[in-house]
Chain A
Amino acid sequence: MQKTSCALVVSRSNKTILSIKKMLAPAGISVEQANTEGEVFSLLENQKFSCILIESGLSETPCNKFIRALRMVIGADYVPIIILATIEDEAQLSYCISAGCDDILFKPFTALALNSRLSSFEKTRELKQLYKASLKEQIVAKRIMTNAMNERCLKFKEIELLNRSKEIFSGDLFLTARHPDGSLNIMMADFTGHGLPSTIGSLPVADVFSTMTEKGFELGYILENINNKLHTLLPTSMFMACSVVNISNDLKHAKVWNGGMPDIYVRGGETGNIQCKLQSSSVPLGITETVSNQYDMQDIELTPGDQFILFTDGLTESLNKDGDMFGEHRLEECLRTNRQKKSVFNALISTFDEFRGDVVAMDDVTLACIPCSDELMHENNIDAGKSMHIACSEDNRWHWYMELGGSSLHEINPVQNVIEEVHRLSGQSLSTDKLSDIMSMLYHNVIQHSDPADASQLASIHRARENGDESNNVFIRIGIKRIYHNGIPALLVHMEDSGKQFTQDALLSSLDHQENKTTDSHDNEYPLVFELNKLTRNKNSGNRLEAIIFEHDNLVNYYG
């Protein structure tokens, strides 16, 4: 325990306070006293405590509600809450634990009992700090990885892609590269396992795939090179299943190869029927040395408009609450019932999410619907700036992040990109209009209000670029996180810019202005509810805004 640490004791009994002071003094822990809930919250605004000890029966509101409120105020900081209870309180204690209380001490207790509890919490604190540091490292590494992968992969509006990773890093990989003859090479791959070890092999694979495609090598030869590389790099227990497709420039032919992946589906553009399924014909890559004919491609004829549906086994092997697998039969049933639709992407995601419910995913899930359309052959690379998503399977939570700076800020309006990414990650549970309105409003707010001295942040960005001032580190960061706010599924939208912070008054006034404007402009179409939380506002700096969008209620809470 650090000498400077201070415990907050919530009690009206001077005897209790004195006793705890005596118990904690040898450990160098000072004690601050609060008699009421109001005093607790007011102390928490200005001071950090190493732990909070609450004598049961003190609070005006039920103890579990008080603890829940405390947890909201404390936020992500690690502050153990211990209830000092009598045996009569036993029935209420389980509610307190589920509300966020960490431990219970029955009175009377000894100095040894209290100090032992606090020492144990210190160990937890150290572990949490280590975990946080490790998580930060992973996020930085993920960012580097995402940037590196973006450089090696073309992006197409036409290709609909869902990529949910079980952990920060995904073992699934989706790559596209243009062959000099105009055809398009597409690869979906799945490394053994998930997480960081599974993602390590992605970079060399992406390197070989993009470089060799651009140089005009045939897919079979590219696969051979990737296999040899992985065979050298990966440990024996790891491999990479992958399916590759080469769509000809005239959209009439495709070459396909599948090594260890689920069937590749070809859906008829006109009929919506499953035209064919292309099975795995080889062991995955990285297991054996290349043998002759291992990478012979299968030729198939296409009609423009046909669609390829590629997915990893994380999709078909996902379980529902009864332990049933999603399976190919459910996927095919979904394709059959949505025959009339131009794209089945959203229907597949909805069916999958409905099937899975709240069950924690066991694996990364990737799904791509690729229409063989003219746009696919002529569309240029879409530069979406720096973006990444960090997805966690637990309760379908995910986190997506984008940073625009330099040229990408000048060229890209991020609102559309954000909407596309949100739909890619979550399916169609949010109305596009609603999300678009809220994003535009926040984006406008960040641009307009972050630097009152400058009417337009964009204008300053443009000026900096025109002047060749590359050192001007101007950026806008946008983060979206799927959360459960008070148990309700919601999106936390966070926008931040490099401008000067603006005052709380300016922020309040801007938000009030937005509130009136939004209410006026939408005529109750989206009943927006604004709640400015005092504590949250005080914590935040003035150059960022946050909004919580409830997925099903059309409610929005804004925080500045």
Chain B
Amino acid sequence: MSVNQEVSKDGKKVYINISGRFDYKVSQAFRDSYRRIPGQECVSYYVDLSDAVYMDSSALGMLLLLREHAKCRGGSVFIERPSKQIDNILKVANFEQLFTINYTCPITSYAGESAGAEH
């Protein structure tokens, strides 16, 4: 499992990719991926779950924390390309009522625009 993060040049888009199990074990890395960046106003956070194989309720809680973090700073959160298994978990929790979920969006990456970081 790992959490990868990239920030766009203007710092307004943060791309977070989670691979493997998205559970309580990555909570610190996930939190660091959006807290340890400068200038956090009006940022769009893209959480790519295409490589995640499972998420537990703690992971849903982490998404809620990110949502609050973004909301307080005029930003927004997008969940991108959840796998079928992850999508089932999001659907059971009815998280489409709380987040914008993109199923077919192109791979969003800002590699080259700024240095990425792996946690």
Q: Which of A192, A280, A362 contacts B61 (CB 8 A)?
A: A192
Near B by CB (< 8 A), chain A positions 520-557 give none
- Residue B65, interface by CB 8 Å: yes
Interface stretch among A235-243, A394-402, A457-465?
A: A235-243
Task: Count residues of A near B (Cβ-Cβ below 8 Å).
Answer: 24
B92 adjacent to A192 (CB under 8 Å): no
Question: Residue on B with the closest CB to A263?
Answer: B92
B58 adjacent to A283 (CB under 8 Å): no
Question: Residue on B with the closest CB to A283?
Answer: B94
- Residue B95, interface by CB 8 Å: yes
Q: A236-B65, A237-B64, A237-B65 are in contact. Are A262 and B58 (CB under 8 A)?
A: no
B56 adjacent to A239 (CB under 8 Å): no
Report which B residues bind A (CB closer than 8 A).
23-24, 54, 56-58, 60-62, 64-65, 68, 91-95, 97-98
In the complex, chain A residues whose CB is within 8 Å of the CB of B98: 283, 287-288
A260 adjacent to B94 (CB under 8 Å): yes
A-B contact pairs, 29 of them (CB 8 A): A190-B57, A192-B61, A193-B57, A193-B58, A236-B61, A236-B64, A236-B65, A236-B68, A237-B61, A237-B65, A239-B57, A239-B64, A241-B57, A259-B94, A261-B92, A280-B91, A280-B93, A280-B94, A281-B94, A282-B94, A283-B93, A283-B94, A283-B95, A287-B64, A287-B98, A288-B98, A313-B92, A362-B56, A363-B56
A192 adjacent to B58 (CB under 8 Å): yes
- Residue with the greatest number of chain B CB neighbours at <10 A, chosen from A237, A238, A239, A282: A237
- Residue A284, interface by CB 8 Å: yes
- Measured CB to CB, the closest approach of chain A to B93, in angstroms, equals 5
3 A-B pairs with the lowest CB-CB distances in the bound complex, closest first? A237-B61, A192-B57, A283-B94
Near B by CB (< 8 A), chain A positions 163-218 give 190, 192-193
Q: What is the total of A-B residue contacts with beta carbons within 8 Å?
A: 55
CA of A65 to CA of B78 in the docked complex: distance in angstroms? Answer: 60
Report which A residues bind B (CB closer than 8 A).
190, 192-193, 236-239, 241, 259-262, 279-284, 287-288, 313, 317, 362-363
- Measured CB to CB, the closest approach of chain B to A359, in angstroms, equals 15
In the complex, chain A residues whose CB is within 8 Å of the CB of B61: 192-193, 236-239
In the complex, chain A residues whose CB is within 8 Å of the CB of B68: 236
- Measured CB to CB, the closest approach of chain B to A142, in angstroms, equals 21
CA of A259 to CA of B56 in the docked complex: distance in angstroms? Answer: 16
In the complex, chain B residues whose CB is within 8 Å of the CB of A280: 91-94
Question: Residue on A with the closest CB to B91?
Answer: A280
In the complex, chain A residues whose CB is within 8 Å of the CB of B58: 192-193, 237
B24 adjacent to A284 (CB under 8 Å): no
Q: A237-B64, A241-B92, A280-B91 are in contact. List 6 more A-B contacts (CB 8 A).
A: A192-B57, A236-B64, A237-B62, A239-B57, A281-B94, A283-B94
CA of A239 to CA of B68 in the docked complex: distance in angstroms? Answer: 14
- Measured CB to CB, the closest approach of chain B to A511, in angstroms, equals 48
In the complex, chain A residues whose CB is within 8 Å of the CB of B60: 192, 239
In the complex, chain A residues whose CB is within 8 Å of the CB of B56: 317, 362-363
CA of A317 to CA of B55 in the docked complex: distance in angstroms? Answer: 10
In the complex, chain B residues whose CB is within 8 Å of the CB of A192: 57-58, 60-61
- Residue with the greatest number of chain A CB neighbours at <10 A, chosen from B58, B93, B97, B98: B93
- Residue with the greatest number of chain B CB neighbours at <10 A, chosen from A259, A283, A288: A283
CA of A260 to CA of B64 in the docked complex: distance in angstroms? Answer: 14
Question: Residue on A with the closest CB to B65?
Answer: A237
- Residue with the greatest number of chain B CB neighbours at <10 A, chosen from A190, A280, A281, A287: A287
B93 adjacent to A260 (CB under 8 Å): yes
- Measured CB to CB, the closest approach of chain A to B90, in angstroms, equals 11
A193 adjacent to B24 (CB under 8 Å): yes
- Measured CB to CB, the closest approach of chain B to A361, in angstroms, equals 12
In the complex, chain A residues whose CB is within 8 Å of the CB of B24: 193
In the complex, chain B residues whose CB is within 8 Å of the CB of A260: 92-94
In the complex, chain B residues whose CB is within 8 Å of the CB of A237: 58, 61-62, 64-65
- Measured CB to CB, the closest approach of chain A to B92, in angstroms, equals 5
CA of A237 to CA of B98 in the docked complex: distance in angstroms? Answer: 14
Question: Residue on B with the closest CB to A319?
Answer: B54
CA of A239 to CA of B57 in the docked complex: distance in angstroms? Answer: 9
- Measured CB to CB, the closest approach of chain B to A293, in angstroms, equals 12
Question: Residue on A with the closest CB to B93?
Answer: A260
B64 adjacent to A262 (CB under 8 Å): no
In the complex, chain B residues whose CB is within 8 Å of the CB of A193: 24, 57-58, 61
In the complex, chain B residues whose CB is within 8 Å of the CB of A259: 94
In the complex, chain B residues whose CB is within 8 Å of the CB of A238: 61
In the complex, chain A residues whose CB is within 8 Å of the CB of B91: 280
- Measured CB to CB, the closest approach of chain B to A277, in angstroms, equals 12
- Measured CB to CB, the closest approach of chain B to A36, in angstroms, equals 50
Question: Residue on A with the closest CB to B31?
Answer: A237
In the complex, chain A residues whose CB is within 8 Å of the CB of B97: 283
In the complex, chain A residues whose CB is within 8 Å of the CB of B62: 237
CA of A435 to CA of B49 in the docked complex: distance in angstroms? Answer: 49
CA of A282 to CA of B95 in the docked complex: distance in angstroms? Answer: 9
Question: Residue on B with the closest CB to A258?
Answer: B92
CA of A500 to CA of B116 in the docked complex: distance in angstroms? Answer: 71
Q: Which of A236, A239, A262, A362 contacts B92 (CB 8 A)?
A: A262
CA of A260 to CA of B56 in the docked complex: distance in angstroms? Answer: 12
- Measured CB to CB, the closest approach of chain A to B117, in angstroms, equals 23
In the complex, chain B residues whose CB is within 8 Å of the CB of A317: 54, 56
CA of A395 to CA of B94 in the docked complex: distance in angstroms? Answer: 34
Question: Residue on A with the closest CB to B21?
Answer: A362
